[in-house]
Amino acid sequence: MDLKSPLSKAKGLGSAKSGFAHWWAQRVTAVALIPLVIWFVANIVHAIGSEEHLLAFVRTPFNAIVMVLFMVSTLYHAALGMQVVIEDYIHCRCMKIISVVGVQLVCLVTAIAGIMAVLALHFSYLML
């Protein structure tokens, strides 16, 4: 005999409810970050050896796009990770909520500003 209601079966969530989405997003961003981090480190290492501005490698469309993907993936992964850390160590309910939302806000603002900076750099190199 099945104790689950038809609605609960349609929703497909178990006792973790919406928590699975967090776990899954953390793993998806982690897998995405493996090639992205390798790409980032390789570019930075190469750029340090060259005479140009350190970030001139975002001149090419490929690099500009991947840099944006790198920033977004990193900050999303960081926000998810910090949420878990905050939930573990901060016990006061209102401070917990303020901290989690605060981290998400900081990551969002940094991501937007970072995307704008990468685009500004990319377009300025295209103009030259």
Partner 1 sequence: MSGKPAIVNNRPLSPHLSIYKPQITSMLSIAHRATGIFLFFGVLILSWWLITSVYTDTTLWSVFASPIGYVFIALWSFSLFYHLLNGIRHLFWDMGKGFDLQCVTNSGIAVVAGAILLTIVSWVAAFKDIL
We find the least distance from the C-beta atom of residue 12 to partner 1, in angstroms, to be: 20
Report the residue from 27, 62, 102, 108 that binds partner 1 according to the rule CB under 8 A: 27
Contact (CB, 8 A) for 41 and 81 = no
Closest CA to 111 of 54, 64, 83, 73: 73
- For partner 1, the binding residue among 1, 7, 45, 127 (CB under 8 A) is 45
Joined tokens for residue 28: 């998806």
Position among 31, 101, 108, 126 found at the interface with partner 1 (CB under 8 A) = 31
Residue 126 CB, shortest distance to partner 1, in Å, is 15
Q: Residue 86, Cβ neighbours under 10 Å: how many?
A: 18
Give the contacts of 48 (CB within 8 A, at least 6 positions apart). Answer: 54
Kindly list the residues in this chain that would bind partner 1 in the complex (CB under 8 A).
27, 30-31, 33-34, 37, 41-42, 44-46, 48-49, 55, 71, 74-75, 78, 81-82, 85, 92-94, 106, 110, 113-114, 116-117, 120-121
